[in-house]
Structure 1
Amino acid sequence: MEGELASLSEIVKYNSALAPKPYHFGQFKNAQISTYFLLMEFLEMRTGAPDPALFCEQIAALHRDSVSPTGKFGFYTTTCHGPHPQNTSWEDSWSVFFLRLIRLFFERELDMNGPDADYEETFKALEAVIPNILEPLQQGGRFLKPCLVHGNLWEENTGTSLDKDNQPKIFDAGCFYAHSEYDIAMWRRDIVRFGRTHTRQYLRHMPPSEPKDQFDDRNRLYSIKFDIAHAMGWPATVKHQRDLYALFLSSS
């Protein structure tokens, strides 16, 4: 709840209309088990994927206008992807930050769903590939701006205001400052209704980072973190998700 409040607070700092205003979080005093709450603005809206053009324009603006308070990748408090805490400690290198993040989720997924020798070997190969894909973003004089990302951006966490302005809304955020392309990698997944149309609209306002010819590799790489998170939430999909990693490596 604390991470959600911090995430929404950071989003509305840059666009007060994009997310519900958070007010307070706390713990119930008389609950038999530890129980927490989050109080936020009530919104009249319809849920589901908003209009791609306006939605992607505002997400791109959030990425472009946000400024990391330290100039680094990370966040000032722990946030969660679903029920799973993320290591958001500040880091200069995006490659190091992402490797740390995906390794954390990989280790948790093994703990939850059990060992698999082939899968573990595949992940070792993936770890070796990550620097080759991500380090060029900050090499050769390139500067990679840490951008505020929602962290779990799919249609179930979005909606549209019922007011005449049809303002897109986002919620259930697990924010941190990251590479902007991280937020749109979830749209690659086949169960997400956001897809190529949304990606094209987004890239109109926020073109791929240099080197541009590695955009698709980065997009596939980032999507694996969301595949791992899905396998943690839906164990029946574990084999399918684990097969995706091998497919990524074979086509990289």
Structure 2
Amino acid sequence: MSMEVKALEHLLKVELATDKLRLIGRAGGGCINDGCSYETDTGKVFIKTNSKSEAKLMFDGEVASLQTIRSTNTVRVPRPIKSLANPSGGAVLIMEHLDMHSLNRHQKMLGERIAALHLHNQHVGDELKKHKGTIGKGVGQEDVQYVDKFGFYTTTCCGYIPQANDWQQEWPTFFINQRLQPQLDLIERDYGDREVHQLWSQVQSKIPVLFEGMTIRPSLLHGDLWGGNVAETSEGAVVFDPASFYGHSEFELAIAGMFGGFGHNFYDAYHSLIPKSPGFEKRMKLYRLFNYLNHWNHFGTGYKGSTLSTMRSLLS
């Protein structure tokens, strides 16, 4: 056993107050993190590790996202336990272990639960108006507070890139300034791509038109709902690895449709509760643009072509 593993397991024993710590399995924690499960005195836990210097920020945002989703009682997520600095570098996230399998039987349930998640804040607001009083105490407390702006309580990371979530009154303002522009700034810094720069100046002026006549109320989003972040247990659908914020519910569906994993049962169930609004398909292109930019920044120029074609499509 390496010194790094010994140090990690000592940390886990102390933080979990357990004498028993037996490795029971490893999981490929995706492209970003490593994962494994341990048996402890009080049951199983799942451990995510990341050696990057910014990992603690990333895991803190994930904990806040998981806690906020859990507080809605809509869709199941693993219960976060602790986010810790790793003595060997980076950070560690301890959470509930769930026996998960690929999403199959519970596509319809997932569609219903994600729609319920997206509608939850609106329902809280409607109840607040009905009773003309306060019904919330804030995130992490007993009740859920109505959120009337777009953003989040803390920084979250989509992949390993930090996302500023400063509160904004208008959704297009938030989406342009705090989602698209930071991604484009990274591409400018790392690649200096002239074509993207030129297209962006044209696309930016078209964005407000896509939201004309719409009233968008903030929805709590998972924030990274692709097929690798959904699963099921014997009890039903589960989502994990969130990068939450309050945004436009349609944003959630863009990455869901880009990489597979979601069938017609998911979409039929979702849209039975949140029907498509006029202009939906064009806005999907805009939301896919964010994901192509984010993937370019994570994985390189293999996503340049998709980025450029999406930008041109938005201009047509």
**What is the number of residues matched between the two proteins?**
235
Which residue does the alignment assign to 2:39? Answer: none
> For residues 79-132 of structure 1, what are the alpha-carbon distances to aligned partners after superposition, in whole Å with 9 as ceiling and x for unaligned?
0101011121001100100111111111113323x1222221111111111111
- Looking at structure 1, the residues matched to 83 and 105 of structure 2 have their Cα atoms a distance apart, in angstroms, of 28
- Aligned partner (choices 99, 110, 114) of residue 59 of structure 1: 114
Which residue does the alignment assign to 1:206? Answer: 274
Output the TM-score relative to the length of structure 2: 0.69
Match runs of 1:5-154 below 5 Å: 5-15=63-73, 18-28=76-86, 30-31=87-88, 33=89, 35-48=90-103, 51-66=106-121, 69-100=146-177, 101-112=179-190, 114-138=191-215, 144-154=216-226
Whether the aligned pair in 2 keeps the contact of 1:3 and 1:79 (CA below 8 Å) is yes
Q: Which runs of 5+ in 2 are unaligned?
A: 1-58, 125-144
> For residues 157-181 of structure 1, what are the alpha-carbon distances to aligned partners after superposition, in whole Å with 9 as ceiling and x for unaligned?
11100x2x3x111010000001111
What secondary structure does 1:169 align onto? Answer: strand
Name the % identity.
29
Whether the aligned pair in 1 keeps the contact of 2:147 and 2:218 (CA below 8 Å) is no
- Looking at structure 1, the residues matched to 226 and 311 of structure 2 have their Cα atoms a distance apart, in angstroms, of 24
- Aligned partner (choices 290, 300, 310) of residue 225 of structure 1: 290
Question: Shift in Å at residue 16 of structure 1?
Answer: 6.8
Q: Taking structure 1 as reference, are residues 224 and 195 closer, same or farther at Cα in structure 2, changes over 3 Å only?
A: farther
Which residue does the alignment assign to 2:256? Answer: 187
Question: Shift in Å at residue 14 of structure 1?
Answer: 1.0
Question: Shift in Å at residue 243 of structure 1?
Answer: 2.6
Whether the aligned pair in 2 keeps the contact of 1:147 and 1:179 (CA below 8 Å) is yes
- Looking at structure 2, the residues matched to 88 and 49 of structure 1 have their Cα atoms a distance apart, in angstroms, of 33
Residues 95-104 or 129-138, more deviating: 129-138
Q: Which runs of 5+ in 1 are unaligned?
A: 139-143
Q: Taking structure 1 as reference, are residues 47 and 126 closer, same or farther at Cα in structure 2, changes over 3 Å only?
A: same
- Looking at structure 2, the residues matched to 230 and 154 of structure 1 have their Cα atoms a distance apart, in angstroms, of 13
Whether the aligned pair in 2 keeps the contact of 1:48 and 1:156 (CA below 8 Å) is no
What secondary structure does 2:82 align onto? Answer: strand
- Aligned partner (choices 172, 178, 200) of residue 247 of structure 2: 178
Whether the aligned pair in 1 keeps the contact of 2:108 and 2:266 (CA below 8 Å) is yes
Question: Shift in Å at residue 242 of structure 1?
Answer: 2.7
Whether the aligned pair in 1 keeps the contact of 2:229 and 2:239 (CA below 8 Å) is yes
Q: Taking structure 1 as reference, are residues 116 and 174 closer, same or farther at Cα in structure 2, changes over 3 Å only?
A: same
Alpha carbon RMSD of aligned pairs, Å?
A: 2.0
Question: Shift in Å at residue 55 of structure 1?
Answer: 0.7
Whether the aligned pair in 1 keeps the contact of 2:83 and 2:94 (CA below 8 Å) is yes
